[in-house]
Structure 1
Amino acid sequence: MSDLLILDPRPLRDLLDIGAGPELVQELIGLLKEDAPPRVASVQAALAAGDAATAIQEAHQLKGALGNLGLQKFADLAAQIEVHAREGRLDPARGLAGLLPAAYEEALVALESAFPEP
């Protein structure tokens, strides 16, 4: 996981290159701020309760949203949690889920640095 970029700016730059305004990128960052913390909490709560199905669903949704924003390292973490949960290995998934809040903060800093508000 450490070899992955925190942020690959290409997906969002591609949006700008095809004519999307910077306000769309800011809206996407805002959606991440709204969506990611509750999903992170949901993954952690599901794993704590031994609810693999919910953990899988939430981690999968998180992985997709993060990947679309180019947040490779954070998306990979969610993907690893999803795989562990699918395989019934909840203890490793729980350990990785403990890293999610820091990954979120790291991703947000990278996004806001690369795409500052106008």
Structure 2
Amino acid sequence: MDFHNIESFLSIDTNEAEALGRLMADTLRSDLGKIRRGIRDNDLESIAFVAHSIKGAAGNLGFERLSELAAVMETRAREGRLDGLGDLILEMQTLLEELEVSLAGR
């Protein structure tokens, strides 16, 4: 993920895109922690809620892959399934790291 995607997706300037990218990175980092706690505590409702939030925010900023992953996670959690959530978290973590690299290389 590259914060410049936000710039082109929303037709905003680089500074605004960077600010939104930083907000997304901070929020996603926190949300992944919440999901990990939800898995640990078997709190499927919490996982679904956080995944839904990620899905919407990522979609609104043009991060399609992240939104897709969150949608899968939300669906599984609502179905009462924890299987495969670890893999989804790993891919989301990789996307977060890509975003952080793009912000550092601004």
The alignment's TM-score, normalised by the length of structure 2, stands at 0.80
C-alpha separation between the residues in 2 aligned to 1:41 and 1:63? 16
Question: Which runs of at least 4 in structure 1 moved beyond 4 Å after TM superposition?
Answer: none
Question: Which whole-Å deviations, capped at 9, do the CAs of 1:85-106 have from their partners, x for residues lacking one?
Answer: 0111112334423433123213
Q: Which has the higher helix share?
A: 2
Q: Which has the larger radius of gyration?
A: 1
Question: Which whole-Å deviations, capped at 9, do the CAs of 1:64-89 have from their partners, x for residues lacking one?
Answer: 11112211212211111111001111
Q: 1:101 to 1:108 in 2, by over 3 A?
A: same
**Equivalences, count:** 105
CA RMSD of aligned residues (A): 2.4
Which segments of 5 or more consecutive residues in structure 1 lack a partner in the other structure? 1-5
What is the aligned-residue identity percentage? 27
Which segments of 5 or more consecutive residues in structure 2 lack a partner in the other structure? none
The alignment's TM-score, normalised by the length of structure 1, stands at 0.73
Which residue is 1:75 aligned to? 67
